[in-house]
């Protein structure tokens, strides 16, 4: 204080003022004094802070304070409650505010919401305080929509099995799931709280690669996870840096694989459009049958990205992706794949004779019967220019890219020569992973023996030991006898069964299976019928209508979940018995591969979902389906086959039916939803994925222009990718209709990419900061930045314009729907569901509104999570068919294709899009960073 | 007990004691004026303005300089402009917090209410203010904090709310200005956060109590060295010293009190000294090492004073830097340091 008192005897602060000891004496330790005092009264400071309400009430009994009136800090946006009795916003997201308590009604366990870690199409992830465990957890709060609910159950069942059956010791770097329950009609899944993801790690390193020792460390850990998945017969289907998270405060750095929302069992590879684009394997891209090997491809891409700091194959489109693969790897997919893959003609032209092909594969170098299309050829075929992304690497080939990557500064010659050796090992390692031929691609076991991983000196190209042949459990047919449901042939339902071990003659494994499975399931069909009819269904799954499969699957594990569900009565639409019926119906459809329509599937290219092939008319059948249709012979079945909706939840079905069935003419429907479906189906029939791509491209291109900074890799990813993925979604209205939505995405993007440097700006001399050195020295830094980044990314959740349009149109639809009259199944759904959310119309609009959820998402997405058009996911729902209820069997039990019914885009993919780590570190010391960097968006301005 | 703490009105060269008819809590020093607020478990409480005469070492009461206050005031504070002046004859603006923020005009012989600043939307319910702080650089600005989780910044010249922020996830217990537009607050959520009015979208968490949701009751920002602040935890004998440049980890924890700490105050004339008082009836003056890093055995206070009972309040005013004011029971005591 400048007025520092003159009376002070001239003492000025700064000069060493010291108390003079007038009234104070020297400090004496009072050893004998009791250290604990009996507190008679609370200190006044407590009575006027912590206990002020009580104090004031003593002073004045009329004093009233209501915590309810406190301004709330909402974490969910929009925070206006319009659905689910005001608990949900327009997106069916539970409106979260700080200190909201999520209660597991069965165990009374309470989770206090503290922060939002991320959100996506599936719902939200909140950081919650678990008072009982005295720790933070990550709680995924699924949207109050059946599709997402179902989808989330897949993750629950797969993860539970992985955790409990395969990895009890938690040594395989797979995220732990703690429990799940239904709260306010939302499925809530509790996971261990983790930290930032690897994309963020790279990002805070300014997109410079991580040190080789870290790459090696992470590679080893990811491989442990992948080995486990392989053993369990699980395909993650969305492996990417964003889905690999650092564990909190563990040194040396430890990571875990998260997000099993897109995962499937190896015998249930029902979706053909999976994996985020940059990490998409050639077989998936080409529409060929796939196995756990696709995760190894993604793994290779991740390893390369960790080292390079940028994605290895940042394809702006599938064409671009394939082009990059071919160029960088100097090879192309083997002819046997090209011959069978359903999308081959989109990217390749046949230049050789088919006979040559039959005689064995010929790869690379002109002897192949296939030649990749040039851009011009592609454009001629597709009538659209392929979107081509920016090139980040000066060198074309993998080996050059890796070996010429700038070394860190200040390395001694010796270190450089050491590292150059390791880089050679890395190149060899990568070559075994990003191998075009899925059959030659290394397994996790093989890869884990590579010198790059083991640290042994690398001397010559690695020859992997032969993979131990395993008899996939899934091959065993499992007959599950469930009291309520009769016999279900889980395996029989698996679409991929035969296709898995050999290359099928049919392109589509799904179809192949059809006759197969059906035969089996047929027998059980009868039981289904009975199942349906039996309203009471003592069966545990009974309550989950659409979840028949899912539940069954799961029920053993978490009876509580189910029960709760039932109790709440609310549950996602599935809760009504009737709904069940509906489902069953569908599944039957599936089961009955026999249906006439099945025939048409055979010739279909693999990967395309059956639904795509179903003529609209079949929908009509479905819709018209009367209860009688539930019977095995019902015509509805055939429709089911075809129905893309298979995957959709009941609500969806409903909508669909409306659109198709009732109106008979999808196109004529003005409802937005019909629009997308329409699009979906229509394209589906002929070109499947291809159809979507154009959209992607289109949107991407829109996007790019708006993005001045498009140069940065990040942007690329975020921007175009995002737009692409979204637009690709069948469900997403925005892709179909709106420019606005897209524009918005583009708009948001800049924000995301704020801090992303253009790769061109790299300082080759930059010395890698050893972000994660085993000693963790820089960890705090990282953390800080992370949180910063997170904040940025979490910043907005804007609603897409498109959404609104939709919604409104949706409402306009309502009358029409009503006229149509509720389908039986549907009406069931209605029963017991809250009027608002479960009403048919409501459901309708909900779907429509989906796009909007996506939007915010999109904008915040980080690059890689883009393009994943889960188109087909929808379609396959019906494959789901009743599956065994056995828990733990999920290997066998087809992960109900129905699981994925969820969203337009696989929830999994979207889950962490925002670039938000699961766990944000709240408590970590952040040194060296100015406080400002820890900014948080924790307060809202009220006035 | 030491001599200085024995009886009220006991004079010594080094301390003066004022005994009030009621228990005391809030206290403010302005020049030679001292406002003291009662803690009575009744709606009607009392604020008295007394004057301290260092020359005679006496405290004079002025029956006319006294007013009723609804509820026990949680804090009293004189206008920082006037408190820097040393005259007791000027008019002073006094602010008090409780159910609302109130301004009082303290004249030579009377005290008039000036304003009741109420931002509540409900007439039926009230969210009490746990504390407030008057911005020294911008004296028209007062920041209040409330159990409704918000901090409210008032422009008292216009009598309007400049802004209100949901500052914390739980009740806010104390607020402290650092600069004209920068303040910090502590809360039942266990965090110390710094806010900058120029960027209302973000705050910076400087510290979080090790056990989540252990309330932080008081906050003191070192005005001589804004890098440092101190806070106290509920039911804790620790004074936590924070360096805002290294958030989260306290630079030192002063733990020599034998019961919970109730109040803290930085020395107005030294960046290294801080005083703390507690339920152990002790007042400690600590001299922090520079930088204030504690050794393996922690830091001992450099001096101590024992009062007659639990010390509830502490003021160390720039206007009277040689005198510490403490309140315990129904006594207010000035201690020469």
Write out residues 860-899 of A within 8 Å (CB-CB) of B: none
CB spacing of A936 vs B215 below 8 angstroms: no
Residue A284 pLDDT exceeds 50: yes
**CB-CB under 8 Å, B310 with A25:** no
Domain identity same for A532 and A419: no
Whole-number Å distance between alpha carbons of A186 and A166: 28
pLDDT at A201 > cutoff 80: yes
Phi, psi of A832 (to 5 degrees): 75, 0
Name the residue with higher pLDDT: A890 or B163.
Answer: B163
Which of A409, A432, A454 is the C-terminal boundary of a domain?
A: A454
Query: A861 lies in a domain?
Result: no
Residue B84, pLDDT score: 52
Å from B107 to nearest chain A CA? 23
**Structure confidence at residue B263 (pLDDT):** 97
**What pLDDT is attached to residue A407?**
93
Lowest mean pLDDT among A293-297, A481-485, B161-165: A481-485
SS3 category, A599: helix
Domain match, A432 and A500 both: no
- Give the one of A20, A71, A931 whose C-beta lies nearest to B206's C-beta: A931
Are both A148 and A292 inside the same structural domain?
A: no
Same domain, yes or no, for A636 and A504? yes
Contact B334, B54 (CB under 8 A): no
Calculate helix-pair angle for A801-820, A840-860, nearest 10 degrees.
Answer: 160
Q: What is the pLDDT of residues B60-103, one digit of tens each?
A: 999 999 999 999 999 999 998 875 554 445 689 999 999 999 99
Q: Which of residues 241-300 of B touch A (CB under 8 A)?
A: 244-249, 256, 258-260, 262-263, 267-271, 273, 279-280, 283-285, 287, 300
Nearest to A895 by CA among A871, A879, A874: A879
pLDDT in tens, A860-889: 333 333 334 333 333 333 333 333 333 333
Report residue B308's pLDDT band, with 50, 70 and 90 as the boundaries: confident
Taking residues A595-600, report their average pLDDT.
35
Q: Are residues A231 and A274 in the same domain?
A: yes
| Chain A: residue whose CA lies nearest to B268 | A1
A88: domain CATH number is 1.10.510.10
Q: In this predicted structure, what is the pLDDT of residue A924?
A: 37
On chain B, the residues whose CB falls within 8 A of the CB of A64 are 124-126
Q: Are residues A446 and A506 in the same domain?
A: no
A42 assigned to a ligand binding site: no
Same-domain status, A217 and A286? yes
Partners of residue A938 in chain B, C-beta under 8 Å? 166, 168-169, 193, 202-203
Residues A389 and A492 in one domain: no
In this complex, which of B72, B217, B313 lies closest to A46 when CB atoms are compared? B217
Taking alpha carbons only, the member of A911, A794, A920, A886 closest to residue A152 is A911
Query: Per residue in B200-246, pLDDT tens?
Result: 878 999 999 988 779 999 999 999 999 999 999 999 999 999 999 98
Of the listed ranges A75-89, A164-178, A857-871, the least confidently predicted one is A857-871
**CA distance to partner chain A, nearest, from residue B85 (Å):** 8
Q: Which of residues 899-938 of A touch B (CB under 8 A)?
A: 922-927, 929-932, 934-938
Distance CA A356, CA A745 (A): 47
Domain that holds residue A565: 488-647+876-904
Catalytic residues of A: 238
* Model pLDDT, residue A538: 34
Structure tokens at A898: 């129905």
* CB neighbourhood size of A608 (10 A): 28
Whether A3 and B270 lie within 8 Å, measured CB to CB: no
pLDDT at A395: 82
- pLDDT in the model for residue A871: 34
CB of A834 closer than 8 Å to CB of A185: yes
A913, part of any domain: no
Q: Residue A847, SS3?
A: helix
Among candidate residues A584, A525, A582, the one with its CA nearest the CA of residue A552: A584
Domain ranges within chain B, ordered by starting residue: 21-259
In chain A, what residues touch B14 (CB-CB under 8 Å)? 22-23
By Cβ distance, the residue of B165, B203, B224 closest to A942 is B165
Q: What is the pLDDT of residues A226-243, one digit of tens each?
A: 999 999 999 999 999 999
A-chain CB neighbours of B204 within 8 Å are: 931-932, 934-936
Which pair of tokens denotes residue A809?
Answer: 């149109």
Identify the residue whose tokens are 């922060």: A115
CATH topology classification for B21-259: Methylamine Dehydrogenase; Chain H (2.130.10)
Spatial distance between the Cα atoms of B235 and B254, rounded to a whole number of angstroms: 14
Give the one of A9, A27, A934 whose C-beta lies nearest to B300's C-beta. Answer: A27
Confidence of residue B158 (pLDDT cuts 50, 70, 90): very high
pLDDT of residue A341: 93
Nearest CA in chain A to B154: A943
pTM here is 0.56
Which chain A residues in 72-131 lie under 8 Å from chain B, judged by CB atoms?
A: 72-73, 98-99, 114, 129
Reported confidence tier of residue A39, pLDDT bands at 50, 70, 90? low
The answer to whether the CB atoms of B312 and A27 lie below 8 A apart is no
- Burial letters A66-84, b for 16+ CB under 10 A, else e: eeebbbbbbbbbbeebbbb
Question: How many whole angstroms separate alpha carbon A482 and alpha carbon A492?
Answer: 16
Q: How far B51 CA sits from the closest chain A CA (Å)?
A: 17
Given this model, what pLDDT does residue A685 score?
35
Q: Tell me what pLDDT residue B54 has.
A: 83
Q: What percent of chain B has pLDDT over 70?
A: 94
Residue A892 backbone dihedrals phi, psi, to 5 degrees: -80, -40
Domain tally for chain A?
4
Q: If contacts are CB pairs under 8 Å, which of residues 116-135 in chain B contact chain A?
A: 119, 121-122, 124-128, 130-131
What distance in Å separates the CA atoms of residue B119 and residue B115, rounded to the nearest whole number? 12
Q: Is residue A930 part of a domain?
A: no
My answer on whether A502 and A585 are in the same domain is: yes
Residues of B in contact with A55 (CB under 8 A): 41, 71-72
Q: How far apart are CA A24 and CA B307, in angstroms?
A: 11
What is the 3-state composition of chain B as percent helix, strand, coil, each rounded to the nearest 5?
0, 55, 45
Q: Are residues A50 and A114 in the same domain?
A: no
Do the bridges between strand B239-243 and strand B228-233 make them parallel or antiparallel, or are there none, so unpaired?
Answer: antiparallel
Distance CA A843, CA A573 (A): 10
Question: Model confidence over A747-788: pLDDT tens digits?
Answer: 333 333 334 343 334 443 443 444 444 443 443 344 334 333
In this structure, are residues A757 and A207 in contact, taking their beta carbons and an 8 Å threshold? yes
Distance between A131 CA and the closest CA of chain B, angstroms: 10
Name every chain B residue with its beta carbon within 8 A of the beta carbon of A33.
258
| Averaged confidence pLDDT in chain B | 90
Query: Is the distance from CB of A259 to CB of A138 less than 8 angstroms?
Result: no
Rounded percentage of chain A residues whose pLDDT exceeds 90:
35
Q: Is the confidence at residue B13, as pLDDT, over 60?
A: yes
Residue in B with minimal Cα distance to A795: B201
Q: Which of the pair, A558 or A102, is modelled with greater confidence?
A: A102
The residue in chain B having the minimum alpha-carbon distance to the alpha carbon of residue A13 is B269
Does A942 lie at the interface with B, CB-CB under 8 angstroms? Answer: yes
A288-292, A316-320, A779-783: least confidently modelled range = A779-783
Choose the final residue of a domain: A399, A428, A454. A454
CB contact under 8 A, A923 and B248: yes
Q: Are strands A135-142 and B160-166 parallel, antiparallel or unpaired?
A: unpaired
Considering only CB atoms, A50 lies closest to which of B12, B215, B303, namely: B215
Q: Say if the Cβ atoms of B246 and A65 lie within 8 Å.
A: no
Segment A489-544, tens digit of pLDDT = 332 233 333 333 333 333 333 333 333 333 333 333 333 333 333 333 333 333 33
Residue A36 confidence (pLDDT): 54
Q: Is the pLDDT of residue A898 over 80?
A: no
Q: Mutate which of A96, A938, A941 to test chain B, going by most B C-beta atoms within 10 A?
A: A938
**Together in a domain, A234 and A297:** yes
Minimal C-alpha gap between B301 and chain A (Å):
6
pLDDT score of A109? 94
- In B, minimum Cα distance to A129 occurs at B212
Q: B303–A925: do the CB atoms touch at under 8 Å?
A: no
Smallest Cβ–Cβ distance between B318 and the set A1, A43, A922 belongs to A1
Residues with Cβ < 8 Å from A633, sequence gap 6 or more? Answer: none
Mean pLDDT, chain A, integer: 62
User: Average pLDDT, stretch A52-60?
Assistant: 96
Query: How far separated are the first and last CA of chain B, in Å rounded?
Result: 18
- List, as ranges, residues 52-81 from B with C-beta within 8 Å of A: 54, 71-72, 74
Nearest CA in chain B to A932: B204
Helices within A383-508 (DSSP H only) = 398-403, 413-433, 444-448, 451-454, 490-493, 497-501
Q: How far apart are CA A813 and CA A334, in angstroms?
A: 50
A504 with A617, same domain? yes
pLDDT at A33: 53
- How far is it between the farthest Cα atoms of chain B? 55
B150: pLDDT strictly greater than 90: yes
Mean pLDDT, to the nearest integer, of A611-636? 34
The confidence score (pLDDT) of residue A269 equals 84
- pLDDT confidence of residue A38: 57
Pairing of strands A135-142, A123-130: antiparallel
The 3-class secondary structure across B17-69, one letter per residue, is EEECCCCEEEEEEECCEEEEEECCCCCEEEEEEEEEECCCCEEEEEEEEEEEE
Q: What is the arithmetic mean of pLDDT over B143-161?
A: 95
């Amino acid at each position: 204080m400048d007025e520092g008192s003159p009376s002070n005897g001239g003492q000025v602060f700064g000069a060493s003022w010291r108390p003079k000891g007038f009234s104070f004496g020297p400090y004496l330790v009072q050893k004998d004094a009791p250290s604990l005092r009996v507190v008679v009264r609370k200190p006044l400071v407590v009575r006027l802070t912590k206990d002020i309400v009580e104090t004031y009430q003593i002073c004045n009994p009329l004093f009233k304070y209501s915590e309810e009136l406190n301004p709330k800090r909402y974490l969910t946006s929009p925070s206006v409650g319009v659905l689910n009795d005001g608990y949900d916003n327009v997106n069916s997201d539970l409106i979260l505010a700080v200190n909201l308590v999520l209660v597991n009604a069965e165990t009374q366990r309470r989770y206090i919401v503290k922060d939002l870690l991320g959100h996506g199409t599936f719902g939200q992830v909140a950081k919650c305080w678990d008072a009982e465990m005295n720790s933070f957890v990550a709680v995924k709060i699924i949207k109050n929509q059946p599709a997402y609910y179902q989808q989330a159950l897949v993750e629950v069942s797969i993860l539970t099995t992985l955790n409990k059956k395969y990895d009890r010791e938690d040594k395989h770097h797979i995220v732990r799931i703690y429990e799940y329950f239904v709260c306010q009609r939302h499925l809530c899944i509790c996971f261990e709280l983790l930290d930032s993801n690897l994309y963020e790690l790279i990002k805070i390193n300014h997109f410079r690669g991580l040190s080789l020792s870290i790459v090696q460390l992470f590679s080893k850990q990811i491989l442990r996870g992948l080995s486990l998945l392989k053993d369990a017969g699980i395909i993650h289907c969305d492996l990417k840096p964003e889905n690999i998270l650092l564990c909190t405060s563990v040194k040396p750095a430890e990571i875990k694989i998260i997000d099993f929302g897109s995962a499937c069992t190896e015998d249930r590879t029902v979706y053909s459009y999976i994996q985020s684009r940059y990490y998409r394997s050639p077989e998936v891209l080409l529409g060929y049958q796939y196995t756990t090997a696709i995760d190894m491809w993604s793994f290779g891409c991740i390893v390369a990205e960790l080292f390079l700091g940028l994605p290895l194959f940042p394809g702006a489109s599938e064409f671009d992706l394939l082009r990059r693969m071919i160029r960088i790897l100097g090879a192309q997919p083997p002819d046997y794949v090209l011959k069978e893959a359903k999308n081959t003609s989109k990217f390749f032209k046949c230049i050789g004779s088919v006979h040559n092909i039959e005689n064995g594969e010929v790869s690379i170098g002109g002897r192949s019967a296939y030649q990749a299309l040039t851009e011009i050829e592609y454009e001629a075929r597709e009538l659209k220019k392929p979107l081509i992304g920016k090139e980040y690497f000066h060198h074309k080939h993998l080996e050059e890219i890796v070996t010429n990557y700038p070394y860190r500064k200040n390395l001694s010659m010796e270190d450089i020569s050491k590292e150059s050796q390791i880089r050679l090992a890395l190149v060899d390692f990568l070559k075994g992973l990003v191998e075009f031929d899925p059959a030659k691609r290394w397994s996790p076991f093989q890869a884990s023996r590579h010198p790059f991983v083991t640290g042994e000196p690398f001397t010559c190209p690695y020859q992997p030991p032969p993979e131990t042949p395993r008899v996939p459990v899934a091959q065993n047919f499992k007959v599950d006898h469930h009291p309520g449901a009769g016999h279900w042939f889980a395996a029989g339902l698996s679409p991929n069964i035969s296709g898995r071990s050999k290359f099928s003659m049919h392109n589509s494994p799904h179809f192949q299976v059809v006759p197969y499975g059906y035969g089996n399931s047929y027998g059980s069909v009868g039981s289904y019928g009975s199942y349906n009819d039996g309203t009471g269904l003592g069966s545990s799954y009974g309550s989950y209508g659409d979840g028949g499969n899912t539940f069954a699957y799961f029920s053993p594990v978490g009876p509580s979940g189910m029960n709760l569900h039932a109790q709440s009565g609310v549950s996602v639409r599935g809760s009504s018995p009737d709904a069940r019926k509906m489902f069953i119906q569908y599944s039957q459809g599936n089961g009955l591969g026999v249906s006439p329509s099945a025939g048409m599937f055979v010739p279909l290219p693999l990967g395309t979902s059956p639904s795509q092939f179903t003529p609209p008319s079949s929908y009509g059948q479905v819709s018209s389906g009367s209860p009688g249709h539930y019977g095995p012979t019902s015509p509805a079945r055939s429709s089911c086959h075809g129905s893309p909706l298979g995957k959709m939840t009941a609500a969806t079905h409903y909508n669909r039916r409306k659109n198709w069935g009732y109106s008979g003419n999808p196109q004529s429907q003005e409802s937005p939803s019909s629009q997308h479906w329409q699009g979906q189906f229509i394209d589906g029939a002929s070109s499947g994925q291809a159809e979507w791509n154009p959209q992607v491209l289109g949107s991407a291109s829109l996007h790019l222009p708006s993005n001045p900074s498009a140069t940065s890799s990040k942007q690329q990813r975020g921007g175009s990718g995002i737009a692409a993925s979204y637009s690709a979604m069948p469900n997403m209205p925005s892709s179909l209709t709106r420019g606005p939505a897209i524009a918005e995405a583009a708009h948001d993007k800049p924000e995301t990419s704020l801090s992303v440097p253009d790769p061109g700006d790299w300082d080759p001399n930059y010395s890698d900061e050893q972000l994660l050195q085993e000693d963790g020295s820089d960890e705090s830094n990282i953390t800080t930045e992370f949180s910063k980044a997170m904040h940025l990314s979490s910043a907005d959740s804007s609603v897409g314009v498109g959404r609104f349009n939709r919604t409104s149109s949706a409402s306009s639809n309502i009358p029409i729907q009503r006229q149509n009259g509720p389908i039986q199944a549907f009406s069931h759904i209605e029963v017991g569901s809250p009027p608002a959310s479960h009403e048919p119309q409501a459901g309708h609009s909900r779907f429509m509104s989906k796009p909007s959820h996506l939007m915010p998402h999109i904008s915040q997405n980080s690059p890689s999570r883009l393009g994943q058009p889960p188109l087909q996911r929808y379609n396959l729902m019906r494959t789901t068919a009743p599956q065994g209820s056995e828990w733990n069997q999920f290997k066998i039990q087809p992960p109900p294709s129905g699981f994925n019914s969820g969203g337009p885009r696989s929830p999994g993919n979207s889950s962490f899009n925002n670039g938000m780590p699961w766990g944000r570190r709240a408590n970590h010391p952040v040194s060296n960073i100015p406080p400002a960097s820890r900014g948080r968006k924790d307060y809202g301005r009220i006035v | 007990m030491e001599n200085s703490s024995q009886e009220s009105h006991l004079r010594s060269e080094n301390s003066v004691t004022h005994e009030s008819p009621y228990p005391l809590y809030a206290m403010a020093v302005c020049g030679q004026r001292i406002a003291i607020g009662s803690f009575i478990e009744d709606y009607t409480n009392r604020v008295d303005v007394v004057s301290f005469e260092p020359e005679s070492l006496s405290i004079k009461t002025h029956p006319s300089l006294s007013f009723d206050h609804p509820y026990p005031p949680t804090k009293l504070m004189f206008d920082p402009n006037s408190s820097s002046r040393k005259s007791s004859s000027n008019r002073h603006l006094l602010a008090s917090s409780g159910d609302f923020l109130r301004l009082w005009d303290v004249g030579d012989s009377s005290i008039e209410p000036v304003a009741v600043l109420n931002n509540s939307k409900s007439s039926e319910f009230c969210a009490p203010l746990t504390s407030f702080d008057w911005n020294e650089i911008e004296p028209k600005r007062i920041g209040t904090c409330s159990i409704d989780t918000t901090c409210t910044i008032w422009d008292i010249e216009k009598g309007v709310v400049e802004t209100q922020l949901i500052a914390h996830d739980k009740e806010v217990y104390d607020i402290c200005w650092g600069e004209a537009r920068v303040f910090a607050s502590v809360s039942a959520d266990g965090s110390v956060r710094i806010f900058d009015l120029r960027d209302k979208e973000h705050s910076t968490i400087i510290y979080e109590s090790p056990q989540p949701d252990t309330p932080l009751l008081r906050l003191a920002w070192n005005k001589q060295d804004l890098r440092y602040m101190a806070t106290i935890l509920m039911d804790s004998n620790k004074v936590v010293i924070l360096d805002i440049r290294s958030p989260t980890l306290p630079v030192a924890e002063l733990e020599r009190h034998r019961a919970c700490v109730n109040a803290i105050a930085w020395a107005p004339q030294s960046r290294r000294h801080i005083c703390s008082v507690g339920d152990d009836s002790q007042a400690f003056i600590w001299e922090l090492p520079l930088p204030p890093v504690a050794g393996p055995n922690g830091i001992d206070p450099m001096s101590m004073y024992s009062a007659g009972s639990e010390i509830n309040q502490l003021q160390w005013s720039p206007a009277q830097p040689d005198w510490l004011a403490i309140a315990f029971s129904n006594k207010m005591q000035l201690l020469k340091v």
